[in-house]
Amino acid sequence: MSKKVVIFIDWENLRKEIEKIQKDKKCTHFNKNTLNYNNATHIMALIYSFIEKDDDLQKIFFYTAPPIDMDDNMCASVEIKPRIPQYAKDFLDSIVKQPYVASRLGISKFRGFDESGKPIFIQKQVDMLLGLDIAHVVYNKLADRILIFSKDIDLVPALKCARTQGVITILANIKEGFDMNSELMKHSDLIRTRSCENIVGYISNKMQELQK
């Protein structure tokens, strides 16, 4: 019997995990050509590689904060005024047009520059939005399972909420990515793991289908 599943994606957390893997010399096949995180089709294929046969997909919530251009006041201490690359804007526009995807946007805040002069941005409100949406889904019985792409310890209260309402909590785990925090494991029901090889194979098959 199929089970209704809602997917929650902390994009900044997942993006950093992909970056971490792609810098690992042991995972040369998991590169920017086989998985380009600015390519919405690649990211959707990664997400779908974690869906199993008895999952009845209801919705994919995609959490991020839109990037911001830096104004002249922010850039007073640097010679070049950084601008948001067009591909980053295009990705956000494209991902929300994918089937089942709904975006939830926090805000980006400028926090100065690092030692190399690179601007530092942080995301605000994303964790709160994610937690509120999980609570809404579980209290309104909109899912039998929730599948979460994030390894952020701040998720623990939301996981506890879901489990007390009888919803199965599943954490998506890329085998070669960040280690899974023990507290997250303690407060989840299942860990669903895929290797880089699994994911790249799924993406390759999906791209071949689209070219037919």
Residue 166: is its pLDDT beyond 60?
yes
Cα–Cα dist 103/92, whole Å: 9
Residue 193: is its pLDDT beyond 90?
yes
Name the one residue in this structure whose structure tokens are 């919803």. 167
C-alpha torsion angle, residues 182, 185, 186, 188 (rounded to 10) = 160
Cα–Cα dist 10/201, whole Å: 23
Split at pLDDT 50, 70, 90, the class of 112 is low
Residue 111: is its pLDDT beyond 90?
no
Write down the pLDDT at residue 6. 98
Write down the pLDDT at residue 105. 78
Write down the pLDDT at residue 84. 54
Q: Residue 204 in contact with residue 34, Cβ under 8 Å?
A: yes
Q: Residue 126 in contact with residue 109, Cβ under 8 Å?
A: no
